[in-house]
Structure 1
């Protein structure tokens, strides 16, 4: 006879050693990427109110932050830049200035920590006066005129020493534009981590406070994906891979585990997932209230993201997880 009582799945759960031996998904330090917000100035460490433990830091403090990251064994960071408010303009020129905030940050990090993998976010929203990710004309976000600016931004990051660029704008064709620009300048070996399936999510609120990137009018639904769609994510990923992306990302992570799984099952490429600011803030707030136990909840959430199919996880919890693991 088959089934109970002959078959007892609990046999593999009773002993904690055996339970660990048959565990299907293991969260590891090598899976983690830590996001950092670098701001113009010196001696700055501004706490982000909606993200406890996260700061806007000037380049000098960024180096100190990176030192801790390296000591904890976290292999990679993702940089977001925040220029002086007066520097922002209609076309986001601080994003691709050779002496821009991210470019300075990259040089400082690679000088002090040459083996730390430095990934840079490539977008215009932090640098434009209107807060959108592309060139705007009469309230319309223009796709094609934006591509050259994104490509120039990526090139300037790589020339400063970035190991990988991560376009997050969701303009059509931006991976091809960046790949072409990098290749034309001899950077054929630099990989692209594409925000391939980036949704127009309500979970980004705390990030916009941290990055100073809230749009000054309208929203980003004309270029970021509709949260109701999953098959569309496959089209986006397929196009980005065809254009030269090396790693693709699903963002957010926790509310889009089904999309991570769908992408993993349909494409033979590394998959990253962004455990975004709102997901971080929810857990932090509940933990501060005593409604959740932070450590087991964080580990459960990140394990779920990996179990869904993510090879890499971008998370503000990275330092905490490094200590716990």
Structure 2
């Protein structure tokens, strides 16, 4: 039988050849490490639904971050676990200049000035009902009020910028918040502070472990006699929609976003690709808590090879068009990449 003269396998037979022809590469520069911070002293606690992920008190934060600094991870994303007694229906703790997020930012900027700090801007860590916005009662019942929420997000953003946060990352999905935050930052002299918009954030079932990590609990409590919605589908995107993601990204870029994000990651690689192809802007993806929990659980049980599967999933995000990945595997990935040279 005749044999083909074109044989793609020829370029796969040696490690050096595979390196030469690789279309995408993963490096430590692609990694952002999300961190959970808690009040208290001399404490770290593992998140039960996220094996290997720990919440850290501020007195242990520098030691916790030092390995990441030595490995050259460029940025950290901070998420606070607000004590229940500091939560209320309006999320007022988000504007407290001495809140956990601001103290963590000040500490990390002092200890690791070379590392970028990304601050989550949303109200769910601060509200007693667990939503990303404030509740109001109207003709259609209790709802998340868009414009009242944006006003609080603006103050939260300014609060974080004053504390040293380099990149404001609104994850709330309220309409118009990017433009309002950009205008406020510029007016206050924070023109250098960047905005990484969670532009295409879906109402996903993959966020459950994260809610455990920040102590958000279940949606649906009833502060001040109001019964809030039981899910976030009125502001986060429908998983069925793809074109809508492009409209969301376009709006946020028009309003002044410097970078955009797709969240979650693996179930939405098509969205990452479409966003990158359409806009060509810095595009990030979040390998969220549910994705991490599935992989980490399988790795711990010996069902998957952690050294290989972690890097393979992250490379998949790069192949889809992402400039970088927020991942709880950042430390392990950086260590593995260093070992591989």
TM-score normalized by structure 1? 0.97
1:278 aligns with 2:277: no
Match of 1:248 among 240, 246, 260: 260
Alignment-derived partner of residue 80 in structure 1: 79
For the residue of structure 2 that corresponds to 1:291, the secondary structure is coil
Alignment-derived partner of residue 208 in structure 1: 211
1:181-209 deviation line (CA, Å, top 9, x unaligned): 10110111111000000000011011110
Equivalences for residues 149-228 of structure 1 within 5 A: 149-217=152-220, 218-228=230-240
* Alpha-carbon contact 1:80-1:102 (below 8 Å) kept: yes
Alignment-derived partner of residue 50 in structure 2: 51
Alignment-derived partner of residue 91 in structure 1: 90
Alignment-derived partner of residue 287 in structure 1: 299
- Distance in structure 2 (CA, Å) of the matches to 1:42 and 1:278: 28
For the residue of structure 2 that corresponds to 1:192, the secondary structure is strand
What do you get for the CA RMSD once the two structures are aligned? 1.1
Alignment-derived partner of residue 109 in structure 1: 108
For the residue of structure 1 that corresponds to 2:307, the secondary structure is helix
- Distance in structure 1 (CA, Å) of the matches to 2:179 and 2:240: 27
- Distance in structure 2 (CA, Å) of the matches to 1:65 and 1:288: 22
Alignment-derived partner of residue 13 in structure 2: 14
Deviation of the 1:215 alpha carbon? 4.6
For the residue of structure 2 that corresponds to 1:86, the secondary structure is helix
* Alpha-carbon contact 2:82-2:215 (below 8 Å) kept: no
Equivalences for residues 301-312 of structure 1 within 5 A: 301-312=313-324
1:128 aligns with 2:131: no
* Alpha-carbon contact 1:38-1:79 (below 8 Å) kept: yes
1:217-244 deviation line (CA, Å, top 9, x unaligned): 1000100000010100000000000000
- Distance in structure 2 (CA, Å) of the matches to 1:184 and 1:281: 41
Structure 1 stretches lacking a partner, 5+ long: none
- Distance in structure 2 (CA, Å) of the matches to 1:20 and 1:107: 41
Deviation of the 1:268 alpha carbon? 2.3
- Distance in structure 2 (CA, Å) of the matches to 1:90 and 1:225: 23
- Distance in structure 1 (CA, Å) of the matches to 2:271 and 2:3: 35
* Alpha-carbon contact 1:35-1:78 (below 8 Å) kept: yes
1:210–1:232 distance in 2 versus 1, CA, 3 Å = same
Q: 4+ residue runs of structure 1 moved beyond 4 angstroms?
A: none
- Distance in structure 2 (CA, Å) of the matches to 1:19 and 1:216: 49
* Alpha-carbon contact 1:32-1:318 (below 8 Å) kept: yes
1:232 aligns with 2:244: yes
Structure 2 stretches lacking a partner, 5+ long: 221-229
For the residue of structure 2 that corresponds to 1:137, the secondary structure is strand
Tell me the matched-pair count. 323
* Alpha-carbon contact 1:132-1:215 (below 8 Å) kept: no
1:319 aligns with 2:335: no
